[in-house]
Every structure is written in structure tokens, then in C-alpha cells.
Amino acid sequence: MFNLIPAHTKDFEYLYKLVSDRNRWFVKLRYGAVIMLLMFFLYLQFLNLKTGSESPNIGILISLAIVLCYNVVFDIVTRRWSAKSDTNISGPMVIAFAQTVCDLLTLLVLVYLTGMLESPFGLFFVFHAIIGSMILPGRIIKAIFTILLISFSALVVLVNYGTLPFYDVFTGDMQLKMPLSKTIVYLIAYWVMLLMSVKFANSLASAHFRREQELNEALRKIETAELEKQNYVMAVVHEIKSPIAAISSYLNILLGGITGELSDKVKDILKKSKARADDAIVLTNDILDVSRVKLLEQIKKEPVYLEKIIMQMFESLKSKVELKNISLSFEEKTRQCRQVFADKRLMELVISNILSNAVKYTPDNGTVQLQLNEDEDNIGITVSDTGIGIPQDEMEKIYSEFYRASNAKKSNVEGTGLGLATVKRAVEKHGGNIHIKSPGNLADNNNPGTTVFVSIPVNSKEE
């Protein structure tokens, strides 16, 4: 059997999807053609045109019924094929070939029944030349149209010499009145027009297909390189984290007085060193979180009770909250024990980041509020604070990795600029969304504050 796969095909999965989509598109388009053909038939009937014979009208009606029947068959076949998990490209290509052949045969009959060279349907050969070239290999579509043109020319000759009857549904003429010289010119024009249409359309479609394959291949290489980079980053950062954590532990021991009484100056130096070491640990943890989320191809979904995670985060922030005398509150507006079907680790990461940011950037004696609410399909997490806020002209940049707002840099609060980037990825992994506004819900004259809205589908789907 002849090969229907286009030359230079590398990505067969992409070709399968492309041809399957176009097959479904052609089926929908053909239903429109059936409606147009029916309108044409009714136009002839209602205007009572004298054709001299009922044969063309009956033939048009039969052609319409045939097109509708085989289109229903193609519709069923393409739907069933799309539902299969098998991505064997031969099936969709055979369907595309069969559709093209059936359409051209039916169109040839219609052209014969409506005036041959004078038929308005002859122009649709060009349309099929273009759409056929979008799918089938050049050698196949050229062969199909060569056979079509030979058949069409033979019909014209047979009609011209009276071997076959001539029909003109518009004038009722039963005899071809076109001079032989004019007939030859028309035939030459048909040959040139259709073969050139096939050549140009197929050349453009082939070039476009090759380019798309090259772009897909380049994208796969970029994604592979990104995965390798993230794995390398995780390995390096993990190796860096261990000695930093050890340094922090040794500094804790020294500050604990195990080596004896320390002078205030030495204690101050050790405390500053300990603070910098802790900042470095936070940075390495943030980088590891970003890399883990990027590398996460599939989230592990399970029933997650957000209230429990929130209370755990409140407990972990207790010392910081007490140190800054911040009013930290939690208001639940959901049904008791409401759960989401999500990745527990990512939910912990989301809540931890937005809560710790609120506490971190809220001045002493400030307020941080967390609300949990729900609608039919989503659970919303809203965190509002009376912190330093975010400048309006920087709102679009806050999800960029390592980006920190200008006022955050001027404050004495250390940060990495990775938290919100990680949160956004984690939320989008669940098909949710995040929105931040500043001034926030708790804004006052001195502190604009920030409000973070996170919405997670109750039965989340991975994006």
C-alpha cells in the first residue's frame, strides 16, 4: 500500500494530533456544505427553473444524500478514533485520504450535472486542492488531482461530442454550445489552475509542518535542558545547605556558652553571623522549593484539610508574632472539616509563604488576618495585613523569580524574592489562581498593607 505519511516527519505524535484535528474540522465544514447544497436544490425548485429534464435535480438531491451519509460515517469514525489512546498515525491519514477522494468524486458528479465547464461548483476544486494539500503528502495529492483532471477532461470531451448528455440547470439547455477552441482553453486553464494550486499549497503546508516540527523539537530540548538545570541546582544547593546548617548549629553552641562566658562584642558578632547563616538557609530552602515545583510533573493529590495546615503554620510563626506583637487571627467561613483534593506539600508551601510574608513585612503592633471561605467549586484563602504594601507600578513584576519590591529592599527585612513565584506555580499546578492587591483590605493612613487571594478548586485538576 502507498505511504500516506509526509516526508521528513519526525514527530509522529504531533502529526497524529494535527491530522485528527483537521479531520474533525473537515467533517464540520462538510455539514455546512450539505446545507448550502440543500439551499441550492431548493433554489432551483422554488424558482421553477425549466431544465428540460428532472435528471439533474434528482442527481443533485442524490449527491446531497450521499455527501450527508458518508459525512456521518466519517464523523462517527473520527470521534471513535479520537477516543482511542492509541496514537497510530495510519488511521487518521487513511480517513483524510478517504475524505478527499469522496469529496472530489461527489464534486465531479455535481460539476457534470450543473454545466461542466460552466458549472459554478468547478471553483470548489481549488478549495479541495488547498485543504487536501494541508494534510496529504505532495506526491499523493498531485496524483489524485492528475487523475481528477484526466477524468474531468474525458467527461468534457464525451459531452462535447454528444456521447454523454449535457445539463445546464440554469438555462435548461441540453446541448453544449461552447466552441471547441473555447473548451480547450477552459480545460488548459483548469489544469494549470489546479496543479499550480496543489503545488503552491502543498509547498507552503510542508514548509509550515517542517517548521512546526523544528520548533517542537527545540522546545523539547529547552525543557530537557531546564530539567537538567533544575536537578543540578537542587544538587548544588543541597550540598551548600548542609555546611551552612552546620555553621548555624556551631554558632548556636557558642552562643549557648559552652566555651565559657563571651564578651558582649563577641556575642554581637556571633548573633550577626547566626542571622546571616539563617538567611542563607532560608535562601537555599526557597531555591529548593522553586526547583521542586518546576520539576514536579504530576502532583500527588489527596484529601487535605486546610484548617489543620493553617493552625500548624500559626504555631510555627508564634515566636515571630509575639516578638513583633502582631495580632494574628483566623476566620473560617467554610463548612466544618472542609477539605480539598490537592497536594498536601504544595498546600503547606502556599500557606506558609503567604503567611510568613505577611508577618515579615508587617511592622510591630500590626495586624494579620487569614480568612478561609468557599463557593460551590473552590476554596479561597485570603491573607490581609497592615504591612508596607507593594508599589502599584511593581505589581506585575512580583511573581518574577528573585524580584523584590523597591520598598521591601529599603526595609531591614531580608528576603529572596522567590516566595510568590513558587506560590504562583504551586497554585497553578492545581488549576487555581492567585491575585494580590495593595493597598489591602486592612489599609490605614500609615500602612497600605497587602491582601493575597488564593483560590483552589475543591477537586483540583493538574494544569
Span 298-311, pLDDT tens digits? 677 888 888 888 88
pLDDT, one tens digit per residue, over 367-400 is 999 988 887 788 888 999 998 888 888 888 888 8
The three-class DSSP label of residue 169 is: coil
The string of DSSP codes covering 31-45 is: HHHHHHHHHHHHHHH
Q: What confidence score (pLDDT) does residue 72 get?
A: 92
The strand pairing partners of 436, in sequence order, are 452
pLDDT in tens, 321-350: 888 899 989 888 776 656 788 888 888 888
d(CA 53, CA 50): 8
CB contact at 8 A, 140 and 190: no
78-83 long-range contacts (CB < 8 A, ≥24 apart) are 78/20, 78/23, 78/24, 78/27, 79/24, 81/20, 82/20, 82/24
Write down the residue that cell numbers 533544575 correspond to.
Answer: 230
Closest by CA to 16, choosing from 135, 171, 181, 154, is 135
pLDDT band at 353 (very low <50, low <70, confident <90, very high): confident
At 433-454, the pLDDT tens digits run 999 998 888 888 888 989 999 9
Domain boundaries, the chain: 12-223, 299-457
Mean pLDDT, the chain, as a whole number? 80
CATH code: domain 299-457 is 3.30.565.10
User: What pLDDT is attached to residue 204?
Assistant: 82
| 241 closest CA partner among 290, 291, 279 | 279
Residue-level pLDDT at 463: 47
Residue 4 has a pLDDT of 62
Element (H, E) at 284: helix 264-295
Decide if 132 contacts 88 (C-beta within 8 A): no
55, pLDDT greater than 70: no
